[in-house]
Amino acid sequence: MEFHALQHSEFDLSVKEIKYENQYDFRKIHRHAYYEVFLFEHGNGGEQLIDFDTYQTKDKTLYIVAPYQVHLSNRQHNENGILLQFSPQYLRTSLSEISTKVLFSLKENPVLYLSEQDYDTLYRSFVRMRALSKTRERFKKEKLKHLFAFALLNILDIIQSEEHSFKKNKLTYQFLELAETEFIEQRNISEYAQQLNVSATKLTNQIKQDLGKTPLKIIHDLITVEIKRLITMEHLSHKEISHMLHFDSQSTYSRFVKKHIGCNPSELSKKLEIHK
């Protein structure tokens, strides 16, 4: 699978104007291995497609694309703003104690509509990072890390102030992080519980309390999205996708698609043609 890497970045961090020229065609659906945080000052009818959900580009709005999500940017004339790109590793080293919480808060909130004050605070932070990244100042690396942490903590504060956001238990974040990396290989919840040193019952109850769904439903949701991504991005047959996602047979794969997406694999491919 092809994932675009972060280009021309000294510290796994890059800040640039939204009107920059990509090393790839951003008008075609794509995936990359880093975060993109678009801070728009003005929108003009453009759209951001993030994992098959389409959001209109609006004034003073933040759009967040997590690693490996499919993305399509339809930018229109006079849309402007600033873009922050960073690797998950950079986030973990900059905010080590709460990095997992931040990672999933960003993924769960792809769009944030900002107040004037929140927009101004983030814009100044992004601009300062961009200016500093072009200098040869002493302690440049350390200063960038602190500015980045300040910006991300402000974003996290905005997310937590939203009505739909709520505090999750540490175990929930640990499971989400583990599931993100192992859902293809492992679908047995008892195995996840063992890795997290808790009982399967405790894990299930905590996840249901925090997220309103079972751990297995979360695994199935991850598989469902990955199936859609592979159909859209890769030139693979359903037999190949079935094998890649470790289904024991193509018929098991077909039943999964029918149950969790509501159509057979061929019908799903036709529905996703619009994104290719």
Summarize pLDDT for 236-274 with one digit per residue, the tens. Answer: 899 999 999 999 999 999 999 999 999 999 999 998 886
Model pLDDT, residue 185 = 93
Residue among 149, 143, 210 at smallest CA distance from 175: 210
* Local structure of 25: helix, strand or coil: coil
How buried is 191 (Cβ within 10 angstroms: 0-12 exposed, 13-18 middle, 19+ buried)? Answer: middle
Model pLDDT, residue 190 = 96
Residue type, 262: G
- Domains belonging to the chain, first-starting first, are 13-161 (2.60.120.280), 170-275 (1.10.10.60)
pTM: 0.84
* DSSP 8-state secondary structure symbol assigned to residue 67: T
Residue among 33, 37, 49, 165 at smallest CA distance from 89: 33
Model pLDDT, residue 3 = 55
Q: Which residues contact 184 (CB under 8 A, 6 or more apart)?
A: 223, 226, 244, 245, 246
Length of the chain: 276
The torsion angles phi and psi of 54, rounded to 5 degrees, stand at: -105, 130
* Local structure of 115: helix, strand or coil: coil
> Rounded to 10 degrees, what is the CA torsion of 203, 224, 247, 211?
0
The torsion angles phi and psi of 185, rounded to 5 degrees, stand at: -85, -35
* Local structure of 233: helix, strand or coil: helix
* DSSP 8-state secondary structure symbol assigned to residue 189: H
pLDDT below 50 — which residues of the chain? 163-165
* Local structure of 181: helix, strand or coil: helix
Q: Which residues contact 188 (CB under 8 A, 6 or more apart)?
A: none
